[in-house]
């Protein structure tokens, strides 16, 4: 089970390349290093199961989560490319894709975001992040967040499955969001829906979450 991960949220201009590279080294290359170690023996034994804790943000990017989403997209692409070869050797790969999970991980991330310096971006972007995104995110976590125990139960079901699924989403509330991308390959439907949700109907979003 690959579960190492770090988070990053905020305006792109305020994040250093060094921090971005560090995140990618943990979230993506950490997984690559693990798979390189365990896969050869699994192939020799012609049996094994690699379970990767990914994220719904590996399927759908979320505003102000540019680099974190990029790392999870990389995880998803890596595993999607590898799974066919692995199956030839009777090795299963499963991606567990949670939405928000209420842990100290997120609490620390948002506490740091509230204290951060946003002088390197424009005032409008800083205001959108601090007064719109952070506020809405707290409502999302309090309304839709799962417990770590719930994610563990989902992961256990994936591990014990007779035919392990390649992808397993843990929160049904996010299925429509992921489906928008497949409904319109041009991306217009998804982009328009998220723009309106963030900038036009944010009050309705917060009310519905509460």
Tens digit of pLDDT at every position of the chain (210 positions)? 999 898 899 999 999 999 999 999 999 999 999 999 999 999 999 999 999 999 999 999 999 999 999 999 999 999 999 999 999 999 999 999 998 888 877 777 777 877 888 899 999 999 999 888 888 887 777 778 888 999 999 999 999 999 999 999 998 887 877 788 888 889 998 888 888 888 887 666 666 656
Which of 78, 84, 101 lies closest to 154, judged by CA? 101
pLDDT for 207: 61
The correct answer on CATH 3.40.50.10890 for the domain covering 12-206 is no
Does 201 participate in catalysis according to the annotation?
A: no
- Residue 209: partners with Cβ closer than 8 Å, 6 or more residues away: 136, 139, 140, 142, 143, 144
pLDDT for 36: 98
β-sheet with 167-169: strand ranges across: 48-53, 91-97, 167-169
pLDDT for 72: 98
Which listed residue (68, 133, 174, 195) is catalytic? 68
Q: What is the DSSP letter of 147?
A: P
Sign of the alpha-carbon dihedral angle for 168, 174, 179, 180: negative
pLDDT for 203: 67
pLDDT for 39: 98
User: How do the domains of the chain map onto residue ranges?
Assistant: 12-206
The model scores a pTM over 0.85: yes
Long-range contacts of 58-63 (CB under 8 A, 24+ apart): 58/95, 58/97, 59/97, 59/178, 59/181, 60/174, 60/177, 60/178, 60/180, 60/181, 60/190, 63/133, 63/194, 63/198
pLDDT for 205: 63
How many residues are present in the chain? Answer: 210
Sign of the alpha-carbon dihedral angle for 30, 35, 38, 40: negative
């Amino acid at each position: 089970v690959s579960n190492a991960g770090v988070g990053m949220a905020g305006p792109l201009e305020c994040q250093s390349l060094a921090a971005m590279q560090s995140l990618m080294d943990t979230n993506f290359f950490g997984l690559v290093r693990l798979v390189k170690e365990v896969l050869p023996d699994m192939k020799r034994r012609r049996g094994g199961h690699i379970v990767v804790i990914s994220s719904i943000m590996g399927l759908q990017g979320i505003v102000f989560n540019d680099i974190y989403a990029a790392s999870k997209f990389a995880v998803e692409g890596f595993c999607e490319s590898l799974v066919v070869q692995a199956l030839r050797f009777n090795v299963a790969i499963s991606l567990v894709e949670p939405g928000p999970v209420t842990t100290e991980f997120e609490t620390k991330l948002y506490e740091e975001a509230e204290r951060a310096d946003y002088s390197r971006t424009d005032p409008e972007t800083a205001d959108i992040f601090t007064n719109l995104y952070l506020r809405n995110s707290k409502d999302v976590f309090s309304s839709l967040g799962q417990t770590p125990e719930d994610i563990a139960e989902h992961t256990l079901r994936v591990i014990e499955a007779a035919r392990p699924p390649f992808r397993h989403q843990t929160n049904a509330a996010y299925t429509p969001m992921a489906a928008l991308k497949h409904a319109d390959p041009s991306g217009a439907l998804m982009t328009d829906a998220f723009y309106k949700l963030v900038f036009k109907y944010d009050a309705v979003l917060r009310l519905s979450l509460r």
